[in-house]
Amino acid sequence: EIVLTQSPGTLSLSPGERATLSCRASQSVSSSYLAWYQQKPGQAPRLLIYGASSRATGIPDRFSGSGSGTDFTLTISRLEPEDFAVYYCQQYGSSPTFGQGTKVEIK
C-alpha cells in the first residue's frame, strides 16, 4: 500500500497569501495518478486536481498542482475566503489511498 504523508498538518494564513501544500508518497506514484480534493465542514470532498497537475472543470486557476514520482505540491496562489478548508491528496492506483489532510485556516 502506498502511504501518503501531507505537510504541514495545519497552515495558518491570511486571505491574499500564497498556500503551498505538500504530499509525499512512500513509493513512486505511477503515471502521476495523483489527485487533490478540497473538503469543507459537513460537505463531501470536491475534486480540484487530477493527473498531478490538471485542474478539474470549474476550478479557478489560482489552484495549481505539480510534482511527480514521490513528491507532489498543491499551490493556491492567492487565498480567497472560500478556500479555507481541508485538502487531501489521493493516489488512485490499484489500491487507492489518501493523505491525512492539511487544514488551511484563517490566521
The answer to whether residue 46 forms part of the interface with another protein (CB under 8 A) is yes
- Which residues face 73 on adjacent strands? 22, 66
Give me the least distance between CB of 7 and another protein, in Å please. 14
User: Could you tell me the CA-to-CA distances from 102 to 19, 31, 49, 58 in Å, in that order?
Assistant: 11, 24, 15, 22
Is residue 44 a contact residue for another protein (CB under 8 A)?
yes
101 near another protein, rule: CB under 8 A: yes
Cα–Cα distance, 44 to 29 (Å, whole number): 25
Q: What are the grid coordinates assigned to 106, written together?
A: 484563517
Does 64 help bind another protein (rule: CB under 8 A)?
no
The residue among 16 and 58 lying less far from another protein, judged by its C-beta, is: 58
Minimum CB distance to another protein smaller for 16 or for 42: 42
The least CB distance from residue 22 to another protein, in Å, is 16
Does 94 participate in binding another protein (rule CB under 8 A)? yes
For residues 37 and 65, give the distance between their C-alpha atoms in angstroms, rounded to a whole number: 11
